Amino acid sequence: MLHINAFQILRKDRKYIPIFAPSFKYDTMSIKQHIPNTITCGNLVSGCVSILFVSMDMPVKAALMIFVAGLFDFLDGFAARKLQARSPIGADLDSLSDAVSFGVAPGFIMYWLMSQASSLPHVTVFGILLLPCLAFLLPVFSAIRLAKFNIDDTQKTLFRGLPAPGMAIFIASLPLALSQVGHLYDGSMNYWACLGITIIFSFLMVSRTRFFSFKMKSAKWKGNEVRWVFLMAAVAGFTAFRFTALPFIMVLYILLSVFFAKKTE
């Protein structure tokens, strides 16, 4: 005859068998796996808040939220590696969050910049300015870039195509730089310049051009010369010129990648 309680089963041979112990281990593992996913959700929420700020005519705050999203994007990967909690759902959630924060949100910021341009040809459909909608090429090509990354296992130390966060940082830097020099709301950005930026960055994201990553095997100078040169130039530029340096820092990243990415392998 078996005696059963909430924690043990007493067999005929008088040995107790725990029946809930495995579930405690499973719950612990499940919680640990969801820590990076929770951080990833912070990335997603940051992107949504950025879009909200654009709709409220607050492009500077919208741009800052993209940098917050970038911080969450770094932290979720860091947590996944440290906790060894990588999972298929985490990878998909990360891509979906990136599509919002580094695709849709910068697309809305570029739409705002285009709609403010003094050189904008006013063509409307159902009350919507039509030509600034070309800014939404950015989220389209960002989504394509992320989808390609998900099925390419070779992009470890080098990226094929400009990473979507790189595009988002450049677009977010534009209202920050314009605000610093006092030309955010006066239509200083030319519409055709904005369109050119949109087309160039859309192409770079889906191109086969190699871009170096910041995944270092060690912090030594040898083998990381390009990364250290870029980081030192970025820190010096931002210290001296603050937000106005950000677009030029991203251009430097692109140029160093085009000419020296192979040296970082």
Domain map (residue ranges) of the chain: 3-208
b/e string for 134-159 if b means 16 or more Cβ within 10 A? bbbbbbebbbbbbeebeeeeebeebb
CB of 162 within 8 A of CB of 253?
no
pTM: predicted TM-score of the whole model, two decimal places: 0.85
- CATH ID of 3-208, from 3.30.70.2470, 1.20.140.10, 3.40.50.720, 1.20.120.1760: 1.20.120.1760
| Phi, psi for residue 210 in degrees, rounded to 5 | -85, 135
DSSP states along 86-101? --HHHHHHHHHHHHII
- Sequential pLDDT tens for the chain (265 residues): 444 444 444 445 555 445 444 544 445 556 777 888 899 999 999 999 999 999 999 999 999 999 999 999 999 988 888 887 777 788 889 999 999 999 999 999 999 999 998 778 888 888 888 899 999 999 999 999 999 988 887 777 789 999 999 999 999 999 999 999 998 988 888 999 999 999 999 999 999 999 988 877 777 888 788 999 999 999 999 999 999 999 999 999 999 999 988 777 6
CA distance 114 to 135: 8
